[in-house]
């Protein structure tokens, strides 16, 4: 019978744990006021879905009502990007039907657990179980067993997160519609991965707190019988500390990057230069038309924008048949600015040749300028043979080199304005009597494109049969400027770029070095720095407007800095030393230590460019894009998964809490067993004494009476104390 009662008690504990878990999910997702509004603002959801906050909160409220079974359908009218529409499309509605079934199933499980608890308690009462003794013990033991199972499950899932993520969906979902596409399905944009992780963390904290209350209350009931108030207090305190204490972590690990389909790819912070993610970043590939980024940068730095370029026969006809062009003819005359727009937006190869001949008299001479510029930017894997990027065995680059070139280009305001323009009107030419309006080939800056990405500044596309799809993209959000490069893609260049940008914006942040750095204090005892006297250290300062890029949970103090007095090429005029910052083996930024009271040197003034008002192009498409359209099957391809650092941190915290609880429970059981053993020994001694008294014929009451008389009888020693000096003879 005791075994059955123990099993029923453990069953109650397990049912209570499940009930608390489901209630914690409901409390966070349904009952937390202002939570969704705060998260939407935190992760720029409004910008991603192009909605007002009131409309988005209304959609969220209707979605929550649907999940709880208080609304029959998800046909919710709203306003997106100023246009009335239904928020949920058919794919999302089918997806949410399965999610609703999961939510309602969880509520049914909770009701079943409550029934199990009441039935078990009824049986225990019927069998006259000692609930005061049984329930606290089974609740403590059941809680530990439940958390041990959770820890084992978390370890299994963490071993292959992507696999078990898919298995979970195949168990609870009737189809593959859970693989939503961020380009067509708005639902995935209102619940991004960091939002999901925040919600999971809140659920874990709520659930952990409720379980801790139950566990400590059970421990208190067990300790109450011990009648050791001080020891009980300290034991409960140690249990609290063990459950709440987290392992002493080193600096957070570098986040795991996404999985991309292209052969080569890289993600860097354009401000700090930190490489946040890379795949085959030093492998050499054909670049195709992204070569024109370097061409444009050299032209902007060496030519005036109003200079006139005359198109030669070689410029127009020394190109591959059917390659990208702006329908220009020999003898056409355009300004450098017009040619730059034609080259960067329309990817006009004849414009690239004409600009090269204008700047260096021939494309061969201009190629030498390209290689010299690339070398000055730190490129080590590249060689350029023409200004346009057309196929040539001696024309190649790497993702890392292309990122360095793009970083330098996007630091130029003229270049940034050109590639971010949504259309440009070329003047009349021989073949274009009325002029020609051109559009960018980069789809991520056009709001009417399924590849649109909020925050995308611009970039350059490329495609040849040998190079495959190539793409360079720059995007800015929350003070960060990220640059991606995709090489040898297979019509997944946009999805690869999106995955890298999302990874960067969600997992990293930028810090101003001048707000944190004090490295120059280490040279206080040096007599000179780079040959300059440092007797007055007040003239030393860290260069301003320099940043480092760190994972979200990392701090500036987690970086390791090193100072060098050997200055790299291009160092500022008043630089005395170069400071490098590393984080976990990753270069995350650098700056210069400047000497003197002079103000930081400003960048040379940029030439003014006629401003062009960006247009939304809601009804206009870019004709003649040089990149093949993605197939529908590729657009709905499965998302790439990785184990977020928050998941691993939560797993280790859970494991440490379970271990602390097991140790605390073992100590508690040892203490109670000691008390039980002492009580049993006292009882045994009493029984032996009673047996001895029975053997000599004296009852226990008579023995107690004799003891009382002996206590009251004065001893000889007491008499001696009352009459000092008198001696007694003992017989």
Output the DSSP codes for 287-327: -GGGGHHHHHHHHHHHS-TT-EEEPPHHHHHSS-TT-----
Q: In the prediction, which pLDDT does 197 show?
A: 73
d(CA 219, CA 660): 14
Whether 249 and 322 share a structural domain:
no
Contact partners, residue 22, CB within 8 Å, separation at least 6 = 106, 107, 109, 110
Residue entry with tokens 């001694």: 685
Q: Find, among 142, 134, 136, 131, the residue nearest to 223 by Cα.
A: 136
Q: Among 108-117, 389-398, 671-680, 715-724, where is mean pLDDT lowest?
A: 715-724
In a domain, 694, yes or no: no
- Please give the tally of structural domains in the chain: 3
Residue 693 within any structural domain of the chain: no
pTM for the full model?
Answer: 0.53
**Burial class (CB within 10 angstroms; exposed 0-12, middle 13-18, buried 19+) of 410:** buried
Contacts of 680 (CB under 8 A, 6+ apart): none
Q: Could you give phi then psi for residue 579, rounded to 5 degrees?
A: -115, 130
Distance CA 718, CA 731 (A): 18
715 is catalytic: no
Please, are residues 589 and 583 in contact by the beta-carbon 8 Å criterion? no
- What CA–CA distance (Å, rounded) separates 158 from 651? 8
Is residue 690 in some structural domain?
no
Do 520 and 505 lie in one domain? The reply is no
138 in the same domain as 212? yes
| Catalytic residue, candidates 210, 272, 324, 347 | 347
Region of residue 75 (phi > 0: left; psi between -120 and 50: alpha; otherwise: beta): beta
251-260, 288-297, 357-366: the lowest-pLDDT one = 251-260
Q: What is the pLDDT of residue 64?
A: 82
Among residues 218, 232, 289, 420, the one annotated as catalytic is 289
Q: How far is CA 525 from CA 520, 522, 529, 680, in A?
A: 11, 8, 10, 73
**Mean pLDDT calculated for residue range 99-118:** 87
Q: Quick one: pLDDT at residue 38? A: 80
For residue 278, the surrounding DSSP H or E stretch is strand 275-279
346 belongs to the catalytic site: no
> How far, in Å, CA of 483 to CA of 485, rounded?
7
Residues 355 and 469 in one domain: yes
Per mean pLDDT, which range of 31-45, 460-474, 665-679 is the poorest? 665-679
Query: Of all residues in the chain, what percent carry a pLDDT higher than 70?
Result: 72
399 with 393: CB under 8 angstroms?
A: no
What's the pLDDT score for residue 140? 80
Q: What digits encode the pLDDT tens for the residues 163-215?
A: 666 676 666 666 554 455 555 556 666 666 667 777 878 888 888 888 888 87
654 shares its domain with 565: no
Poorest-pLDDT segment among 127-141, 217-231, 340-354, 418-432: 217-231
pLDDT value for 717: 42
The mean pLDDT value for 117-135 works out to: 83
Tokens encoding 406:
């793009």
> Of 491, 487, 482, which Cα lies nearest the Cα of 458?
482
**What is d(CA 361, CA 369) in angstroms, rounded to the nearest whole number?**
12
**Cα gap 139→403, rounded to integer Å:** 58
Q: What are phi and psi for residue 156, nearest 5 degrees?
A: -65, -45
**Higher pLDDT residue, 534 or 558?**
558
pLDDT value of residue 373: 94
CA dihedral 490, 492, 496, 502 (to 10 degrees): 180
126 shares its domain with 236: yes
pLDDT in tens, 235-256: 444 444 444 444 444 567 888 8
At 431, which CATH number? 3.40.710.10
Q: How confident is the model at residue 129 (pLDDT cuts 50, 70, 90)?
A: confident
* pLDDT bracket for residue 337 (50, 70, 90): very high
For the stretch 263-272, pLDDT in tens is 999 999 999 8
Q: Which residues pair with 464 in a beta bridge?
A: 468
| From 120, 218, 232, 292, the catalytic residue | 292
* Side-chain half-sphere exposure of 630, counting CA atoms within 13 A: 20
Give the mean pLDDT of 638-645. Answer: 42
Mean pLDDT, residues 91-102: 80
pLDDT at 289: 93
Domain end, chosen from 676, 699, 726, is at 676
Question: Where is 406: in which H helix or E strand?
Answer: helix 399-410
d(CA 698, CA 713): 21
CA angle 297, 302, 308 (to 5 degrees): 100
The span from the CA of 674 to the CA of 670, in Å, is 6
Confidence category of residue 341, pLDDT binned at 50, 70, 90? very high
Domain boundary among 626, 660, 676: 676
The 10s digit of each residue's pLDDT in 541-587 is: 777 888 899 998 888 888 888 887 777 777 787 788 888 888 888 88
Q: Are residues 520 and 423 in the same domain?
A: no
Give the pLDDT of residue 340.
96
* 407 and 452 housed in the same domain: yes
Residue-wise pLDDT tens digits, 482-527: 999 999 998 899 999 999 999 999 899 888 888 877 655 445 444 4
| Alpha-carbon span 282 to 400, nearest angstrom | 6
Is the pLDDT at 419 greater than 60? The verdict is: yes
Q: Which of 587, 540, 578 is nearest to 559 (CA)?
A: 587
Q: Looking at the structure, do residues 485 and 569 belong to the same domain, yes or no?
A: no
Tell whether the model's pLDDT for residue 638 goes beyond 60: no
Domain that holds residue 568: 516-595
Helices (H), 31-79: 35-42, 45-49, 53-67
Token reading at 398: 């790497």
pLDDT above 80 for 347 = yes
Residues 467 and 558 in one domain: no
Report how far residue 205's alpha carbon sits from residue 201's, in angstroms, rounded to the nearest whole number.
Answer: 6
Instruction: Note whether 283 and 295 are within 8 A (CB).
Output: no
Beta carbons within 8 Å of 311's beta carbon, 6+ residues apart: 328, 329, 330, 331, 332, 333, 334, 350, 354
In a domain, 54, yes or no: yes
* 708 lies in some domain: no
Quick one: CA torsion of 326, 329, 331, 335, rounded to 10 degrees? 0
Closest CA to 303 of 311, 315, 295: 295
CB 410 within 8 A of CB 416: yes
The three-class DSSP label of residue 562 is strand
Q: What is the pLDDT of residue 339?
A: 95
Q: Is residue 604 part of a domain?
A: no
Confidence of residue 54 (pLDDT cuts 50, 70, 90): confident
Q: Is residue 706 part of a domain?
A: no
Q: Say if residue 335's pLDDT is above 80.
A: yes
User: Can you list the positions of beta strands (E) in 411-537?
Assistant: 424-426, 436-438, 456-464, 468-477, 480-489, 508-512, 528-529, 532-533
* Rounded Cα–Cα distance for residues 119 and 688 (Å): 45
Is the pLDDT confidence value at 284 over 80? yes
pLDDT-derived band of residue 475, with 50, 70 and 90 as boundaries? very high
Same domain, 332 and 215: no
What is the overall mean pLDDT for the chain?
A: 77
Distance CA 7, CA 537 (A): 74
CA distance linking residue 580 with residue 588, whole number of Å: 8
Quick one: DSSP state of residue 178? T
User: Per residue in 585-634, pLDDT tens?
Assistant: 888 888 888 876 554 444 333 333 333 333 333 333 334 333 343 333 33
- C-alpha 309/C-alpha 358 separation (Å) is 6
How many C-beta neighbours within 10 Å does residue 545 have?
10
Phi-psi sector, 37: left (phi>0), alpha (psi -120 to 50), beta: alpha
Task: Say yes or no: 578 and 648 in one domain.
Answer: no
For residue 696, being part of any structural domain is answered with no
Residue 416 reports pLDDT greater than 70: yes
Which residues touch 575 (CB under 8 Å, ≥6 apart)?
Answer: 530, 543, 567, 592, 593, 594, 595
Q: What is the mean pLDDT of residues 267-294?
A: 94
State yes or no: is 361 an active-site residue.
Answer: no
């Amino acid at each position: 019978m005791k075994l059955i009662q123990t099993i029923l008690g453990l069953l109650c504990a397990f049912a209570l744990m499940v009930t608390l878990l489901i209630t914690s999910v409901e409390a966070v997702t349904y009952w937390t006021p202002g939570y969704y509004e705060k998260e939407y603002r935190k992760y720029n959801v409004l910008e991603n879905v192009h909605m007002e906050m009131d409309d988005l909160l209304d959609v969220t409220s209707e979605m929550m009502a649907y999940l709880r079974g208080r609304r029959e359908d998800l046909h919710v009218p709203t306003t997106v990007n100023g246009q009335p529409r239904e928020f949920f499309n058919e794919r999302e509605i089918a997806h949410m039907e399965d999610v609703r079934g999961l939510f309602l199933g969880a509520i049914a499980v909770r009701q079943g657990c409550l029934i199990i608890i009441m039935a078990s308690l009824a049986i225990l009462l019927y069998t006259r179980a000692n609930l005061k003794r049984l329930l606290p013990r089974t609740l403590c033991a059941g809680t530990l067993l439940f958390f041990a199972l959770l820890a084992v499950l978390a370890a299994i899932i963490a071993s292959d997160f992507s696999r078990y993520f898919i298995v979970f969906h195949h168990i609870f979902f009737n189809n593959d519609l859970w693989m939503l596409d961020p380009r067509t399905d708005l639902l995935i944009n209102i619940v991004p991965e960091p939002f999901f992780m925040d919600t999971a963390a809140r659920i874990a904290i709520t659930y952990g707190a409720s379980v801790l209350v139950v566990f400590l209350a059970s421990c208190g009931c067990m300790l109450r019988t011990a009648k050791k108030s001080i020891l009980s207090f300290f034991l409960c305190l140690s249990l609290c500390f063990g459950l709440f204490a987290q392992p002493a972590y080193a600096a957070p690990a570098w986040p795991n990057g996404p999985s991309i389909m292209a052969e080569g790819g890289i993600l860097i912070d354009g401000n700090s230069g930190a490489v946040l993610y890379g795949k085959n970043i030093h492998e050499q590939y054909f670049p195709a038309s992204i070569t024109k980024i370097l061409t444009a940068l050299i032209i902007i730095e060496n030519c005036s924008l109003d200079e006139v370029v005359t198109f030669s026969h070689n410029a127009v006809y020394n190109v591959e048949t059917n390659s990208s062009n702006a329908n220009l003819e020999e003898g056409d005359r355009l300004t450098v600015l017009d040619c730059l727009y034609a080259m960067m937006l329309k990817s006009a190869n004849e414009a690239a040749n004409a600009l090269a001949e204008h700047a260096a008299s021939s494309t061969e001479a201009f190629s030498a300028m390209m290689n010299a510029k690339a070398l000055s930017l730190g490129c080590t894997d590249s060689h350029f043979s023409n200004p346009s990027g057309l196929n040539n065995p001696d024309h190649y680059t790497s993702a890392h080199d292309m990122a360095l070139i793009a970083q330098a280009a996007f630091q130029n305001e003229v270049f940034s304005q050109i590639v971010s323009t949504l259309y440009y009107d070329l003047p009349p030419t021989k073949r274009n009597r009325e002029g020609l309006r051109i559009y960018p080939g980069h789809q991520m800056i056009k709001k009417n494109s399924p590849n649109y990405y909020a925050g995308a500044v611009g970039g350059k596309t490329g495609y040849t049969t040998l190079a495959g799809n190539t793409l360079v993209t720059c995007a800015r959000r929350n003070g960060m400027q990220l640059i991606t490069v995709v090489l040898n893609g297979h019509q997944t260049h946009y999805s690869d770029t999106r995955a890298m940008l999302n990874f960067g914006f969600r997992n990293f942040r930028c810090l101003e070095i001048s707000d944190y750095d004090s490295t120059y204090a280490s040279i206080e005892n040096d007599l000179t720095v780079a040959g300059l006297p440092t007797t007055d250290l007040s003239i030393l300062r860290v260069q301003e407007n320099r940043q480092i890029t760190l994972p979200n949970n990392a701090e500036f103090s987690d970086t390791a800095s090193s100072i060098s007095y050997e200055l790299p090429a291009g160092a500022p005029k008043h630089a005395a030393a170069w400071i490098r910052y590393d984080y976990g083996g990753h270069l995350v930024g650098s700056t210069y230590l400047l000497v003197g009271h002079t103000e930081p040197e400003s960048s040379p003034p940029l030439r003014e460019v006629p401003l062009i008002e960006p247009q939304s192009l809601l009804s206009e498409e870019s004709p003649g894009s040089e990149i093949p359209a993605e197939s529908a099957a590729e657009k709905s391809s499965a998302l790439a998964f990785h184990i977020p650092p928050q998941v691993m941190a939560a797993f280790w915290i859970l494991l440490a809490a379970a271990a602390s609880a097991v140790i605390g429970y073992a100590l508690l059981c040892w203490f109670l067993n000691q008390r039980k053993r002492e009580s049993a020994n006292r009882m045994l001694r009493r029984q032996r004494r009673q047996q001895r008294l029975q053997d000599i014929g004296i009852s226990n009451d008579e023995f107690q009476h004799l003891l009382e008389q002996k206590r009251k009888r004065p001893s000889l020693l007491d008499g001696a104390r009352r009459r000092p000096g008198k001696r007694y003879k003992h017989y």
